[in-house]
């Protein structure tokens, strides 16, 4: 359909280059341009996702162990989701500059809430009878949370992590679009600025591949983790 649109509808090459032209640029520039840019972007995505997960788990554990903190923090966290994350870009750039730090920070910010919501909703759905019985047996709240409630909540957590993996890609690419010194997003903007539409499309293809790899890798890790932790809960 792409090729037919170019051939039979006589769409301008500037607006829609031929697929073969995009493929030629992708293959020809893969080693020297696209691969280094992709590694830069993928590293920022993975690092941002990991930082986002760490902060999400830490915050969720704190608000679960200290209930008054939940009543104070959750309205703020929910309200923060109303603000477009792109609006934070100028502040992030002032704090972290135009390097990889800004991209990691943006990815961590956009990843935070989906994972946090998955954790809190998942652990609240655990049967209260189990928690009461554990309390009677003298099991500490922290031990019960880590060894029982979090593993049982892993399906909801895994869904949040999968969503976060996609949001991390968006966060990094948007930051590279707006202000960056490298990465695939920067490559796309730079090629469009030179009216090299085929090169920009090659960058978009690279973004698609990076996003697919990170999403499916994250899904595979989450699937394995859910099964392993549920088996561990059964043993406990």
Helix axis angle, 67-80 relative to 100-124, nearest 10°? 130
Give the C-alpha separation, 7 to 3, whole Å.
Answer: 6
pLDDT in tens, 25-72: 889 888 888 999 999 999 999 999 999 999 998 888 888 777 777 777
pLDDT in tens, 99-120: 888 899 999 999 988 898 888 8
pLDDT bin (cut points 50, 70, 90) of residue 98 is confident
pLDDT in tens, 155-206: 888 889 999 999 999 999 988 888 777 889 888 988 888 888 888 899 999 9
Mean pLDDT computed over 210-229: 89
Residue 235 confidence (pLDDT) above 60: no
Secondary structure (DSSP) of 138-199: T--HHHHIIIIIHHHTHHHHHHHHHHHHHHHHHHHHHHHHHS-SSSHHHHHHHHHHTT-HHH
The torsion angle over the Cα atoms of residues 182, 221, 141 and 74, rounded to 10 degrees, is 40
Residue 81 confidence (pLDDT) above 70: yes
Report pLDDT for 166: 92
Report pLDDT for 90: 80
Secondary structure (DSSP) of 8-63: HS---TTTS--HHHHHHHHHHTIIIIIHHHHHHHHHHHHHHHHHHHHHHHHHHHHH
DSSP class of residue 126 equals S
Report pLDDT for 1: 64
Residue 135 confidence (pLDDT) above 70: no
pLDDT bin (cut points 50, 70, 90) of residue 127 is low
Give the C-alpha separation, 138 to 150, whole Å.
Answer: 19
Residue 125 confidence (pLDDT) above 80: no
Give the C-alpha separation, 141 to 144, whole Å.
Answer: 5
Residue 234 confidence (pLDDT) above 50: no
Give the C-alpha separation, 205 to 217, whole Å.
Answer: 18
Give the C-alpha separation, 10 to 222, whole Å.
Answer: 46
Query: Does this model's pTM top 0.75?
Result: yes
- CB-facing half-sphere around the CA of 189: CA atoms within 13 A: 14
Q: Which region among 14-23, 45-54, 72-81, 88-97 has the lowest average model confidence (pLDDT)? A: 72-81
Task: List, in order, residues 6 or more apart from 65 with CB less than 8 Å away.
Answer: 141, 142, 145
R_g of the chain computed on alpha carbons: 22
């Amino acid at each position: 359909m792409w090729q037919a649109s170019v051939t039979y509808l006589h769409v301008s090459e500037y607006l829609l280059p031929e697929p073969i032209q995009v493929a030629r640029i992708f293959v020809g520039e893969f080693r020297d341009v696209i691969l280094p840019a992709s590694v830069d972007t993928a590293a920022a995505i993975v690092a941002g996702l990991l930082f986002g997960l760490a902060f999400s788990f830490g915050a969720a554990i704190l608000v679960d162990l200290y209930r008054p903190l939940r009543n104070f923090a959750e309205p703020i966290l929910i309200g923060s989701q109303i603000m477009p994350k792109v609006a934070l870009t100028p502040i992030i750039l002032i704090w972290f500059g135009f390097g990889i730090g800004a991209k990691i920070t943006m990815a961590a910010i956009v990843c935070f809430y989906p994972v946090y919501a998955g954790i809190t909703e998942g652990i609240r759905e655990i049967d209260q009878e189990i928690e009461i019985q554990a309390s009677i047996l003298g099991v500490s709240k922290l031990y019960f949370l880590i060894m029982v409630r979090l593993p049982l909540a892993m399906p909801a957590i895994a869904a949040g992590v999968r969503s976060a993996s996609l949001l991390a890609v968006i966060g990094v690419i948007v930051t590279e679009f707006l202000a960056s010194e490298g990465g695939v997003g920067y490559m796309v903007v730079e090629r469009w600025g030179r009216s090299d539409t085929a090169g920009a499309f090659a960058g978009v293809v690279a973004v698609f591949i990076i996003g697919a790899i990170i999403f499916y890798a994250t899904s595979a890790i989450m699937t394995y983790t859910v099964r392993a932790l549920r088996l561990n809960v059964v043993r406990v």
